[in-house]
Amino acid sequence: MVALQNDRFLRALLGQPVDTTPVWIMRQAGRYLPEYRATREKAGSFMDLCRNADLASEVTLQPLERFDLDAAILFSDILTIPDAMGLGLYFAEGEGPRFKKVIRSQADVEKIGIPDPEQELSYVMNAVRTIRRDLNGSIPLIGFSGSPWTLATYMVEGGSSKDFGKVKGMMYENPQAMHLLLEKLADSVTLYLNAQIAAGAQAVMIFDTWGGLLTPKTYQEFSLQYMQRIIDGLQREAEGREVPVTLFTKGGAQWLELMADTGCTALGLDWTINIADAKKRVGDRVALQGNMDPCVLYGSEETIRKQVKEIITDFGDGSAHVFNLGHGIHQHINPDRVNVLVDAVHEFGKR
Amino acid sequence: MVALQNDRFLRALLGQPVDTTPVWIMRQAGRYLPEYRATREKAGSFMDLCRNADLASEVTLQPLERFDLDAAILFSDILTIPDAMGLGLYFAEGEGPRFKKVIRSQADVEKIGIPDPEQELSYVMNAVRTIRRDLNGSIPLIGFSGSPWTLATYMVEGGSSKDFGKVKGMMYENPQAMHLLLEKLADSVTLYLNAQIAAGAQAVMIFDTWGGLLTPKTYQEFSLQYMQRIIDGLQREAEGREVPVTLFTKGGAQWLELMADTGCTALGLDWTINIADAKKRVGDRVALQGNMDPCVLYGSEETIRKQVKEIITDFGDGSAHVFNLGHGIHQHINPDRVNVLVDAVHEFGKR
């Protein structure tokens, strides 16, 4: 095994001393990069790209050629689990992810099995192994999954939604079926993330993209409870190091204390909260990841540097901060802007 | 002038004693009602319906025939002001509102004028007058407007958006142009709401549908500041009564204290906050309106009654609560469910 040349990202998540603030960008391998678009075209569909370990590794490493990033993230999709459950994931042009089959009843839920990661999802594990080989110890690799609630929203709605009436309707109308679905998803995600860790993921992140749609009570009952179940079941050590777990509920700034209580290592923050306030509320129980508004990257170099400096200053003392955007980078961002961001983080984050 | 037969809604907003909790429903005149769909078809386009005072009054009054509601709300759209500014509002089937022209630069902003409500928006004032006549003193009429920031999002994006990259990009790239646009919008909204009050609106509400997309700092600078300017310019008395002003930032639960400081009468709450916590934070400075998840209406009668009871119990002592959903009613809700809701509010809210 090759020793890690840059472990700043892992150290910050664990609150260990760092020379400067580490940074990575959600969706750093994506459509804003022309080289990504070229590989994507070569691969065929988006899922063809995810299923080809060599090409998935190629796009995972593309942003590292351009930017001085401190972590790589597995190139994949949050919806691989429902796809492996037989729902038939595809991407309609300009419409985002869609499923051929949807879940609407207890009977639908009962038919679903729990995928074996090394069977139905072996292409993901192959990608993890290939990326680890190609990274060659330069920086750590992050594995990830969608949260059970977030996966359920797509499985019930059949894709993205404007008002999430079907999934939230099912939650209020048939909470029992919803809980059964979420249990199966929590067990699937636990196996899936543990398999990624076994295959070489050095940190994992749970994306609860749609947890913020819930009320305080339903968030705890239908989203947080199942993320807790996953965290309780995760393999937290691999290759002699702790494997940090980051929990990210978009729109969940109100519930940070509850999220920190799960025993996760770090919280992902969107941009709707000041990081100083977040830190005050969770203390040193968890590290914080975030939280620049992705739209700042439409601004000038000066604006970007000013905003980076503000967030780093607001975070203040301590090393438990990983810089990131508050959500994925937009596809129309000029890649040069990302260089400005990354360099500013390393400059202003210097200890 | 006819005396109000039921002023429970106005009394609750002003914190005066009430016999039970008043209730109205955002988008109570809308597509979930078959009689609305019939009138809408007769009228032609959505904007044709808004522009016909008799038909606008007809649909405003339709839900009052079915449900024991405590307030009526002007049937109109939040985008009448940008339309009056010459942007050409239309509704594309299944896509929501669109503008023929968009605002992208300082030069675009400079060309915009401030509409005279009794000229370019006289159809709205006619609707207000007609509805007041047709209500005949039964319950009060609410006037409304979009917030400057929310109007700006549609004017820059050209319609709804997934990531609001254009308007937030403009905010970061060209804050000066954005401020000029927001100033013009704030002045336009002030004139517009004062004209609605003069025409007979007995309460007004400002819908900041997209304020929750902002960071804490940009919310204050680009949204709240301009709502403050409007509130400072509003006519707060008419027909010998105080005209209550309700401020509603969807996704703004983190900023309730700041919103309460504007001097508004009440805050609208979405469903992401517990109303007991909201009350604890703002004290008795403002009344609270909300805050049931609209998706509860997909649930059983028992579920609806349980959720209504919970919110009323959570609100606790005092009269300064107007029951509502946390956002507009969905179009696929069975109207009978609204009866369950309204009756439950009056039952559990009894003093």
Residue of A nearest to B212 (CA): A272
Mean pLDDT of A221-250: 98
pLDDT of B201 over the 60 cut: yes
Residue A126 DSSP SS3: helix
pLDDT at A231: 98
Q: What is the dihedral of CA B279, B282, B288, B291, to 10 degrees?
A: -60
A31 labelled catalytic: yes
Q: Which of A8, A11, A40, A51 is catalytic?
A: A40
pLDDT digits (tens, 9 = 90+) for A79-88: 999 999 999 9
Give the distance from CA B91 to its chain's centroid.
Answer: 19
Nearest to A295 among B165, B300, B303 (CB): B165
Contact A81, A145 (CB under 8 A): yes
pLDDT of A1 over the 60 cut: no
Rounded to a whole number of angstroms, the distance from the CA of A177 to the nearest CA of chain B is: 13
Name the DSSP letter for residue A158.
S
Q: How many residues does chain B have?
A: 351
Burial of A244 (0-12, 13-18, 19+ CB in 10 A): buried
Residues of B in contact with A298 (CB under 8 A): 165, 168-170, 172-173
- CA B209 to CA A348: how far, in whole Å? 35
Burial of A119 (0-12, 13-18, 19+ CB in 10 A): exposed
pLDDT digits (tens, 9 = 90+) for B116-141: 999 999 999 999 999 999 999 999 99
pLDDT of B94 over the 90 cut: no
DSSP string, B154-210: HHHHSB--SS-HHHHHHHHH-HHHHHHHHHHHHHHHHHHHHHHHHHT-SEEEEEETT
- CA A345 to CA B313: how far, in whole Å? 48
Amino acid at A139: I
Nearest to A298 among B173, B215, B295 (CB): B173
Give the rounded percent of residues in chain B with a pLDDT score beyond 90.
Answer: 96
pLDDT digits (tens, 9 = 90+) for A170-180: 999 999 999 99
Give the rounded percent of residues in chain B with a pLDDT score beyond 70.
Answer: 99
Contact B320, B282 (CB under 8 A): no
Q: In a mutagenesis test of the B interface, which of A160, A209, A295, A314 is the best target, namely the one with the most B β-carbons within 10 Å?
A: A295
Q: Does B174 touch chain A (CB under 8 A)?
A: no
Counting Cα atoms < 13 Å in the Cβ hemisphere of B191 gives 17
Task: Phi first, then psi: give them for residue B287, nearest 5 degrees.
Answer: -80, 165
Residues of B in contact with A178 (CB under 8 A): none
* Residue in A181, A230, A183, A192 with CA at minimum distance from that of residue A81: A192
Confidence category of residue B10, pLDDT binned at 50, 70, 90: very high
Q: What residues of B act catalytically?
A: 27, 31, 40, 77, 154
More confident residue, A3 or A141: A141
Q: Does B172 touch chain A (CB under 8 A)?
A: yes
Q: Does A91 touch chain B (CB under 8 A)?
A: no
B65: Cβ–Cβ under 8 A, 6 or more apart, which residues? none
Residue of B nearest to A271 (CA): B215
Residues of B in contact with A303 (CB under 8 A): 172-173
Does B173 sit within 8 Å of A299, measured CB to CB? yes
Q: Does B161 touch chain A (CB under 8 A)?
A: no
More confident residue, B253 or A3: B253
Do the strands B241-242 and B237-238 form a parallel or antiparallel pair, or are they unpaired?
antiparallel
- CA A103 to CA A30: how far, in whole Å? 29
pLDDT of B162 over the 90 cut: no
Looking up tokens 């004139």, which residue turns up?
A: B191
Q: Does A298 touch chain B (CB under 8 A)?
A: yes
Residue of A nearest to B167 (CA): A295
Does B254 sit within 8 Å of A253, measured CB to CB? yes
Residue of A nearest to B95 (CA): A162
Residue A101, Cβ neighbours under 10 Å: how many?
14
| pTM confidence score | 0.96
Nearest to B165 among A217, A277, A298 (CB): A298
Mean pLDDT of B2-6: 87
pLDDT at A95: 76
Residue B256 DSSP SS3: helix
Rounded to a whole number of angstroms, the distance from the CA of B47 to the nearest CA of chain A is: 22
Cα dist from B123 to A294, B53, B200, whole Å: 40, 7, 14
Does A169 sit within 8 Å of B298, measured CB to CB? yes
Confidence category of residue A306, pLDDT binned at 50, 70, 90: very high
Contact A220, A117 (CB under 8 A): no
pLDDT of A249 over the 60 cut: yes
Alpha-helical regions (H) of B292-351: 301-315, 335-348
Does A299 sit within 8 Å of B169, measured CB to CB? yes
Amino acid at B338: V
Rounded to a whole number of angstroms, the distance from the CA of A273 to the nearest CA of chain B is: 6
Write the ipTM. Answer: 0.95
B271: Cβ–Cβ under 8 A, 6 or more apart, which residues? A215, B290, B291, B292, B293, B294, B325, B326, B327
pLDDT at B93: 76
Can you give the three-state secondary structure of A287-315, one letter per residue? EEEEEECHHHHHCCHHHHHHHHHHHHHHH
CA angle B274, B266, B129 (to 5 degrees): 130
Give the rounded percent of residues in chain A with a pLDDT score beyond 70.
Answer: 99
Name the DSSP letter for residue A337.
H
Residues of B in contact with A165 (CB under 8 A): 295, 298, 330, 332
Residue B176, Cβ neighbours under 10 Å: how many?
9
pLDDT of A197 over the 90 cut: yes
Residue of A nearest to B299 (CA): A173
Amino acid at B334: N
Rounded to a whole number of angstroms, the distance from the CA of B240 to the nearest CA of chain A is: 39
Does A214 sit within 8 Å of B172, measured CB to CB? no
Instruction: Copy the structure tokens of residue B203.
Output: 């309460």
Amino acid at A122: S
A176: Cβ–Cβ under 8 A, 6 or more apart, which residues? A106
pLDDT of B103 over the 90 cut: yes
Mean pLDDT of B235-242: 96
Residues of A in contact with B164 (CB under 8 A): 295
Burial of B45 (0-12, 13-18, 19+ CB in 10 A): exposed
- CA A267 to CA A315: how far, in whole Å? 14
pLDDT of A2 over the 70 cut: no
Residues of B in contact with A273 (CB under 8 A): 216, 254
* Residue in A138, A113, A114 with CA at minimum distance from that of residue A60: A138
Confidence category of residue B92, pLDDT binned at 50, 70, 90: confident
Mean pLDDT of A78-101: 92
Confidence category of residue A92, pLDDT binned at 50, 70, 90: confident
Confidence category of residue B3, pLDDT binned at 50, 70, 90: confident
pLDDT at B1: 57
Does A171 sit within 8 Å of B303, measured CB to CB? no
Alpha-helical regions (H) of B200-254: 216-218, 225-233
Q: Does B255 touch chain A (CB under 8 A)?
A: no
Q: Does B332 touch chain A (CB under 8 A)?
A: yes
Contact B338, B25 (CB under 8 A): yes
Average pLDDT over all residues of chain B:
97
Sign of the dihedral defined by the CA atoms of residues B305, B250, B165, A31, in that order: negative
A305 labelled catalytic: no
Amino acid at A230: I
Contact A260, A267 (CB under 8 A): yes
Strand ranges in chain A using DSSP code E only, listed in sequence order? 72-73, 89-92, 96-99, 141-146, 203-208, 237-238, 241-242, 245-249, 266-268, 287-292, 321-325
Alpha-helical regions (H) of B3-147: 8-13, 34-43, 46-51, 53-66, 80-82, 106-111, 122-135
pLDDT digits (tens, 9 = 90+) for A279-297: 999 999 999 999 999 999 9
Name the DSSP letter for residue A248.
E
pLDDT of B2 over the 70 cut: no
Q: Which residues pair with A89 in a beta bridge?
A: A99
pLDDT digits (tens, 9 = 90+) for B302-311: 999 999 999 9
Nearest to B215 among A254, A272, A300 (CB): A272
Residues 187..226 of A with a Cβ closer than 8 Å to B: which? 212, 214-218
Does B168 sit within 8 Å of A330, measured CB to CB? no
Q: In a mutagenesis test of the A interface, which of B272, B306, B325 is the best target, namely the one with the most A β-carbons within 10 Å?
A: B272
pLDDT digits (tens, 9 = 90+) for A29-74: 999 999 999 999 999 999 999 999 999 999 999 999 999 999 999 9
